[in-house]
Amino acid sequence: MKILVPIKRVVDYNVRVRVKSDGSGVETEGVKMSINPFDEIALEEALRIRERGEAEEVIVASIGGTDVQQQLRTGLAMGADRAIHVETETAPQPLTVARILLKLIERESPGIVFLGKQAIDDDCNQTAQMLAALWDRPQATFASRVELADGKATVAREVDAGLETIEIELPAVMSSDLRLNEPRFVKLPDIMKAKRKPLDVIAIADLGVEQGAGFEMLAFEPPPKRGGGKVVGSVAELVDELKNRGLL
């Protein structure tokens, strides 16, 4: 069985995000970029499944310009067997990403497509669900535990009320939650080995996927600075203050 793990290049979660002075986007020049943390968790789980002998191959894939190859090489250094770079100069939105992944599924026939539940840059949390609908296969999103047996997956999902355990048939789409695992550290020898692993580049046009209409970002602005706090002497004073601020 193959496991396909899509990964996204994002601003590292330790970096303080800054909006460009002209409001046209987020500053990325000279900023550390990394694999989206939820995608890294998904990749770690795929590697653990392979190490248990329940899969034969783990493939990482990313969509974007040449820069995404840095994150693909990191995925290969973590232990993925090979990588696929779908080349496009414009950032696709979730539905287009799902359509691209469907084309990769048709090429690779994976048993599992394991995504992060959302990306930390746009927080859309849509791609896994859209892909499952397009592929017409079961989905198990927000996974915090995954067990495979007899062509099925038992998945514990994090939901508002706690944990929900479901069983789905493979092939299927899964997305990882934060508590699924802790990704491994990449060692220098693994980085060197990753340079020799195959990385295929495919133009988005060769997949027959067009960039459909989507949201147009008109402007970006940072959140307003937080004002200072105020100490109140009683519950009545607190209620009055909340009313004065229009919060009650």
Interval 85-118: pLDDT, tens: 999 988 888 999 999 999 999 999 999 999 999 9
Percentage of the chain surpassing pLDDT 90? 73
Structure tokens of 209? 């996927």
Angle between helices 68-78 and 37-51 (to 10 degrees): 30
Span of 73-77, 168-172, 210-214 with lowest mean pLDDT: 210-214
- How many Å is the maximal CA-CA distance in the chain? 69
Interval 51-93: pLDDT, tens: 999 999 999 999 999 999 999 999 999 999 999 999 998 888 8
Nearest to 247 by CA among 160, 230, 233: 230
pTM confidence score: 0.86
Q: Given this model, what pLDDT does residue 213 score?
A: 65
**Architecture per CATH, 2-223:** 3-Layer(aba) Sandwich (3.40)
Q: Given this model, what pLDDT does residue 102 score?
A: 97
Interval 2-49: pLDDT, tens: 999 999 999 999 888 888 888 888 888 889 999 999 999 999 999 999
| Residue 38: alpha-carbon gap to chain centroid | 5
Residue type, 195: K
Query: Chain-wide mean pLDDT for the chain?
Result: 92
